[in-house]
């Protein structure tokens, strides 16, 4: 890394208690079990500026935001808001000091009106202490008009599109005066003209002296609205720069450390002529989430689906695993035919590792042995405890789970070992296809590479592996082929050595630019996806 790009954090932040900073932090460090999320990070934001926080997934952006807004306590270091140290780091304390957050996930009360949602935490009350819906509607409408949002305060929030709900949240965040507003990937579900509305709101807030911390994956947005930018990499603060003094390349260089080449991992040579696909999706589509797409998965390869949350990658993975049925098109497993149900798909040899490990992949309170011998992996109708424990021990070795007796609850294991238990379940079920959604989320770096090696070993045995990931380095390390998706549309595909983190990043950004509008329009058809629990 060139010395020019490396800024002394302390120098960048200046005197942290300097009242000239609207919000600042000094020497923040934070560790989670097995992961050092932040290492001595210091930043300072001047009032009336827009500051971009950049870094790839897992760089520590979310943790830093959570610490700045009081949602998480740092192991070391101090947060200052308007020169005041944030002593009792709680969200309430931070809010009192004027810090507000537009969260990444939408939190809209679907059955309330837009007006009630906008004024949720500051409902106007009359002399009797009662809330008048008319007053709420009037006030909320005035605020929405001021922001230039084309929304009716009397509409039911649940009837809005995802993008409109995001704007409702923006309105809520700005309903009361704030010193600092944190926008966590605000454009993730917005279309082109709505992004323009957002930028207009951001600029007018800045003119009124509000400080904005803007987190985004899209560099072109940074150049459009931000004044300064901070780049985090692996929990360390690597760059602080006025946006006018840098360019896309400069930021990319800082975000991805070229010196540590996490390029493709070694693997068994792939056959010259690709074998016949084991799993094929033909013209599958889900209204509002996935435009029609063909995907073929071949034995012995790793196919990656690259894209941010909401890009359709997870939906496609669920279709491939028979978790849900496509509205159009078919998914066929070689030798079995159409997938009829998740249970049928599982017993036909399609393993699925969901992103939400704790709620969807494991029975946290139950013993490891029960987590292993579950569903398609439970071979015998009888459960013979002694034999079950013996089989479990074998499965644990197969799955390379370290240091645990099969009788203890799966909850006590680390994230990496929990994930290996899920793998071990599918290995002992003898699967032909393994579909994984964000397989290394919440897993520390060393365990990540173990998992990659394990997946590549599987391909050597002829298993087809499908990985959904938003981690470009992960995809570059693992994938034989990759499909890049944006807003429910496959925009590009790469193969072999052409797969690099930078290329994936570029493709996704370009894709968002090109397809953005057309694609997200599709999103308006139906934004209310049934949650998985209801999707049995």
Nearer to another protein, 21 or 452 (CB): 452
Residue 441, both tokens: 């989320």
Side-chain-side CA neighbours of 208 within 13 Å: the count stands at: 14
Whether residue 314 contacts residue 468, with contact meaning beta carbons closer than 8 Å, is answered with yes
User: 285 phi and psi, to 5 degrees?
Assistant: -150, 150
Among 125, 366, 513, 528, the residue binding another protein under the rule CB under 8 A is: 366
Among 364, 445, 492, 521, the residue binding another protein under the rule CB under 8 A is: 364
Min CB(370)–another protein separation in Å:
6
Q: Decide: is 411 part of the binding site for another protein (CB under 8 A).
A: yes
Q: Which stretch binds another protein (CB under 8 A): 5-13, 149-157, 273-281, 371-379?
A: 371-379
Q: Which stretch binds another protein (CB under 8 A): 52-60, 102-110, 477-485, 528-536?
A: 528-536
Among 5, 6, 17, 34, the residue binding another protein under the rule CB under 8 A is: 34
Min CB(387)–another protein separation in Å:
9
Q: Decide: is 254 part of the binding site for another protein (CB under 8 A).
A: no
Nearer to another protein, 249 or 397 (CB): 397
Nearer to another protein, 134 or 381 (CB): 381
Footprint of another protein on 426-445 (CB under 8 A): 429, 442-444
Q: Using CA atoms, how far apart are residues 361 and 363, in angstroms rounded to an integer? A: 7
Nearer to another protein, 173 or 371 (CB): 371
Among 369, 436, 467, 520, the residue binding another protein under the rule CB under 8 A is: 369
Q: Decide: is 300 part of the binding site for another protein (CB under 8 A).
A: no
Around Cβ 11, how many Cβ atoms within 10 Å? Answer: 9
Nearer to another protein, 320 or 484 (CB): 320
Among 157, 377, 434, 484, the residue binding another protein under the rule CB under 8 A is: 377
Q: Which stretch binds another protein (CB under 8 A): 57-65, 399-407, 494-502, 518-526?
A: 399-407
Helix or strand holding residue 100 (H, E) = strand 99-102
Among 12, 155, 378, 493, the residue binding another protein under the rule CB under 8 A is: 378
Nearer to another protein, 35 or 466 (CB): 35
Among 110, 343, 446, 498, the residue binding another protein under the rule CB under 8 A is: 343
Q: Using CA atoms, how far apart are residues 71 and 89, in angstroms rounded to an integer? A: 7
Min CB(69)–another protein separation in Å:
20
Q: Decide: is 362 part of the binding site for another protein (CB under 8 A).
A: yes
Q: Decide: is 358 part of the binding site for another protein (CB under 8 A).
A: yes
Q: Decide: is 388 part of the binding site for another protein (CB under 8 A).
A: yes
Q: Which stretch binds another protein (CB under 8 A): 8-16, 335-343, 476-484, 518-526?
A: 335-343
Checking 396-403 for CB contacts under 8 A at 24+ apart, the result is 396/368, 396/372, 396/421, 396/424, 398/424, 398/427, 398/428, 399/423, 399/424, 399/425, 399/427, 399/454, 400/450, 400/454, 401/368
Nearer to another protein, 155 or 393 (CB): 393
Q: Decide: is 31 part of the binding site for another protein (CB under 8 A).
A: no
Q: Decide: is 130 part of the binding site for another protein (CB under 8 A).
A: no
Nearer to another protein, 263 or 408 (CB): 408
Sign, CA dihedral 234-50-177-159, equals negative
Sign, CA dihedral 452-457-458-460, equals positive
Question: Nearest-CA neighbor of 309 among 230, 394, 400, 217?
Answer: 217
Question: Nearest-CA neighbor of 257 among 238, 285, 280?
Answer: 238
Q: Which stretch binds another protein (CB under 8 A): 124-132, 142-150, 232-240, 341-349?
A: 341-349
Core vs surface per residue 36-56: b (16+ CB within 10 A) or e: bbbbebbbbbbbebbbbbbbb
User: 404 phi and psi, to 5 degrees?
Assistant: -160, 145
Among 3, 92, 127, 382, the residue binding another protein under the rule CB under 8 A is: 382
Based on its alpha-carbon atoms, the radius of gyration of the chain, rounded to whole angstroms, reads: 24
Burial status of residue 487 (CB atoms within 10 A of its CB: 0-12, 13-18, 19 or more) = buried
In sequence order, what DSSP letters do the residues of 124-179 get, joined into one string?
-B-TTSPBPHHHHHHHHHHHHHHHT----TTSBGGGS-HHHHHHHHHHHHTSS--S
Nearer to another protein, 34 or 250 (CB): 34
Question: Nearest-CA neighbor of 486 among 189, 215, 225?
Answer: 189
Q: Using CA atoms, how far apart are residues 259 and 121, in angstroms rounded to an integer? A: 48
Min CB(68)–another protein separation in Å:
21
In angstroms, how far is CA 382 from the centroid of its own chain? 40
Q: Decide: is 29 part of the binding site for another protein (CB under 8 A).
A: no
Q: For tokens 């139950």, what's the residue?
A: 366
Q: Which stretch binds another protein (CB under 8 A): 32-40, 87-95, 280-288, 466-474?
A: 32-40
Q: Decide: is 497 part of the binding site for another protein (CB under 8 A).
A: no
Q: Using CA atoms, how far apart are residues 106 and 186, in angstroms rounded to an integer? A: 10
Among 85, 260, 341, 462, the residue binding another protein under the rule CB under 8 A is: 341
Among 60, 115, 399, 415, the residue binding another protein under the rule CB under 8 A is: 415
Among 109, 268, 276, 363, the residue binding another protein under the rule CB under 8 A is: 363
The site that binds another protein (CB under 8 A) totals a number of residues, namely: 67
Checking 438-443 for CB contacts under 8 A at 24+ apart, the result is 438/355, 438/468, 438/469, 438/470, 438/471, 439/353, 439/467, 439/469, 440/469, 440/471, 440/474, 441/355, 441/357, 442/357, 442/415, 443/34, 443/415, 443/416, 443/419
Nearer to another protein, 354 or 439 (CB): 354
Q: Which residues bind another protein (CB under 8 A)?
A: 32-35, 321, 323, 341-343, 345-347, 352, 354, 356, 358-367, 369-370, 373-378, 380-386, 388-390, 393, 397, 403-409, 411-415, 418, 425, 429, 442-444, 532-534, 536
């Amino acid at each position: 890394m060139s010395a020019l790009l490396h800024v002394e954090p302390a120098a960048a932040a200046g005197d942290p208690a300097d009242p000239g900073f609207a919000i600042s932090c000094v020497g923040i460090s934070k560790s989670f079990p097995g992961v050092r999320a932040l290492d001595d990070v210091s930043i300072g934001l001047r009032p009336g500026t827009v500051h971009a926080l950049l870094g790839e997934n897992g760089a520590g952006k979310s943790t830093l935001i959570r610490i700045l807004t009081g949602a998480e306590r740092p192991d070391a270091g101090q947060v200052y808001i308007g020169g005041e140290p944030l002593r009792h780091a709680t969200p309430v304390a931070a809010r009192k000091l004027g810090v507000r957050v537009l969260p990444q996930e939408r939190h809209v009360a679907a059955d309330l009106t837009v007006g009630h949602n906008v004024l949720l935490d500051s409902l106007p009350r009359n002399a009797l202490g009662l809330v008048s819906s008319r007053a709420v509607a009037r006030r909320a409408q005035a605020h929405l008009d001021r922001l230039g949002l084309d929304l009716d305060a009397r509409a039911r929030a649940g009837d809005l599109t995802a993008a409109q709900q995001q704007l409702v949240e923006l309105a809520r965040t700005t309903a009361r005066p704030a010193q600092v507003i944190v926008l966590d990937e605000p454009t993730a579900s917005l279309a082109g003209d709505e992004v323009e509305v957002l930028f207009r709101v951001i600029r007018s807030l800045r003119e009124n002296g509000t400080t904005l911390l803007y987190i985004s994956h899209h560099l072109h947005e940074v150049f459009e609205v931000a004044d300064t930018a901070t780049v985090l990499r692996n929990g360390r603060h690597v760059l602080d720069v006025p946006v006018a003094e840098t360019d896309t390349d400069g930021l990319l260089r800082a975000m991805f450390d070229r010196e540590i080449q996490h390029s493709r991992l070694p693997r068994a040579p792939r056959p010259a002529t690709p074998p016949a696909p084991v799993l094929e999706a033909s013209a599958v589509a889900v209204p509002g989430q996935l435009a029609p797409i063909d995907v073929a998965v071949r034995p012995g390869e790793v196919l990656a689906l690259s894209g941010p949350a909401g890009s359709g990658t997870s939906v496609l993975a669920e279709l491939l695993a028979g978790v849900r049925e496509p509205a159009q098109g078919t998914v066929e497993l070689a030798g079995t035919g159409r997938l009829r149900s998740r249970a049928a798909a599982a017993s036909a040899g399609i393993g699925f590792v969901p992103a939400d490990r704790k709620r969807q992949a494991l029975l946290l309170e139950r013993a490891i042995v029960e987590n292993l011998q579950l569903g398609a992996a439970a071979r015998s109708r009888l459960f013979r405890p002694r034999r079950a424990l013996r089989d479990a021990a074998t499965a644990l070795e197969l799955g390379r789970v370290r240091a645990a007796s099969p009788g203890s609850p799966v909850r006590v294991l680390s994230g990496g070992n929990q994930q290996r238990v899920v793998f071990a379940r599918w290995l002992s079920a003898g699967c032909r296809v393994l579909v994984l959604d964000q397989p290394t989320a919440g897993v520390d770096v060393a365990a990540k590479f173990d998992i990659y090696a394990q997946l590549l070993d599987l391909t050597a045995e002829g298993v087809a592996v499908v990985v959904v990931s938003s981690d470009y380095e992960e995809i570059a390390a693992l994938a034989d082929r990759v499909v890049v998706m944006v807003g429910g549309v496959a925009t590009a595909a790469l193969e072999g050595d052409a797969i690099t983190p930078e290329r994936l990043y570029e493709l996704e950004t370009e894709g968002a630019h090109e397809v953005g509008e057309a694609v997200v329009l599709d999103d308006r058809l139906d934004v209310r996806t049934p949650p998985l629990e209801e999707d049995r």
